[in-house]
Amino acid sequence: MQPLAVNHHSLVNALGRGTSASLQGLRSATSGLRRCDFLDVGIETYIGRVDGIEDEPVVARLRAFDCRNNRLAMLGLAADGFESAVAAARARYGAHRIAVIIGTSTSAILETEVAYRQRDAEGRLPGHFNFRTTHDNYSVTQFVRSYLGLQGPSMTISTACSSSAKVFASASRLIQAGFCDAAVVGGVDSLCMTTLYGFASLEVLSSRPCRPADADRSGISIGEAAGFALLEKTGDDDTPRLLGYGESSDAYHMSSPHPEGAGARRAMASALQRSGLGPEQIDYINLHGTATRANDSAEDLAVSGLFGSATPCSSTKGWTGHTLGAAGITEALLSCLCLREGRLPASLNTVTVDPDFKMNVLLESRDQPVRHVLSNSFGFGGNNCSLVFGYPEK
């Protein structure tokens, strides 16, 4: 495939606003997780919450889109000079030649949850509730497109936790097919009651900060995040490239992965094939690493089966929590930071790696040259996506 330059990007998550906040968290081993203090949710768990969303409505010209999810999206668009970078690209290509592809899992379902609490005696929802501009999955994509003044192809991808990894694959296909010259890709997912109570009902929420790959792991910590990247055909030599992507859909079970990681392995192998790289050329793997018993075990089988036991790998969910539909973009961009900084992060909170695991899980962060990284995102229903990033050959 034609490599695509990740020419600009932004990150907002529980570690703070902007890429520098995420980098600072990774370097200091400071987690963004805290005891659940979201609304009146009565669950003993930890969450990755972004501060200040409640006090920052979206811009007045787009007030019809105001909701927690689109507020989070706006924070991401305003971070790291991303809006200005897109404006420059718009001037180069024209607004109609830049695609917008956003991944989300629940969108602004919180608006519907709150609206149902406010029904009148006849059961009618409050008049201010607008499903199309808030809860609808396309709402966040339309908001981003309108905020940035873009008119190219646009779509929302909602494949659970792989949603905002798959945006990279879709952007590659659109650009290669000639439908656009560049793409804004991203992911946004905000905290809501459905995911907190839903994962609690599945008995996979941890009562402490998540511990990926740990022998004593007990489940996930849910987070929220927004991330965006501007993909173009060309970039500077020191700009990371999307080198390959791989997707699979094993449909083994509605909410459980294939126990042997079959679909995950196919996604990773496909990403390597597109990139033209062998497993031995990957310097670091950012694991999906949710810290549930089943997911981590299946990923270990998939990773060790393809890469063996030498390739360093870790999960960054101990910093941000599992940001669901925004996990793909968050961890893809954290992987790009690893490339830029020459930094391999440990799996935060992991103390003792599961003795049955064969993959090389890092318990201590380290600095070393990094040329190629792979980022995994695996979702419900066997929706799997792996991405390879690296630098252009000199």
**Cα–Cα dist 213/315, whole Å:** 8
What is the residue whose two structure tokens read 């990926």?
212
For the record, the structure tokens of 219 come out as 């489940």
Count of Cβ atoms closer than 10 Å to residue 149 Cβ: 12
HSE, CB side, 13 Å, CA atoms: give it for residue 305: 16
CB-count exposure of residue 391 (10 Å: 0-12, 13-18, 19+) = middle
9 is catalytic: no
HEC assignment per residue over 2-23? CCEEEEEEEEEECCEECHHHHH
Q: Which of 67, 288, 338, 372 is catalytic?
A: 288
Which residues pair with residue 385 across a beta bridge? 247, 377
- How many Cβ atoms are within 10 Å of 143's Cβ, its own excluded? 29
Q: Which residue type is seen at 104?
A: T
> How far from chain centre, in Å, is Cα 267?
16
Catalytic residue (choose from 36, 67, 161, 385): 161
CA distances from 312 to 142, 273, 286 (A): 39, 20, 9
288 catalytically annotated = yes
CA distance 384 to 258: 11
Instruction: Compute the distance between CA of residue 392 and CA of residue 3 in angstroms, rounded to an integer.
Output: 8
Across the beta sheet with 34-35, what order do the strands follow?
Answer: 34-35, 46-48, 222-223
Tell me the pairing of strands 383-390 and 225-232: unpaired
Respond yes or no: is residue 36 known to be catalytic: no
Q: Report how far residue 3's alpha carbon sits from residue 391's, in angstroms, rounded to the nearest whole number.
A: 10
The distance from CA 302 to its chain's CA centroid, rounded to whole angstroms, is 20
Compute how many other C-beta atoms are within 10 angstroms of the C-beta atom of residue 254. Answer: 8
For the purposes of burial, counting CB atoms within 10 Å of the CB of 238, is it exposed (0-12), middle (13-18) or buried (19 or more)? exposed
Question: Which member of 8, 9, 322, 372 is catalytic?
Answer: 322
Give me the active site residues, please: 161, 288, 322
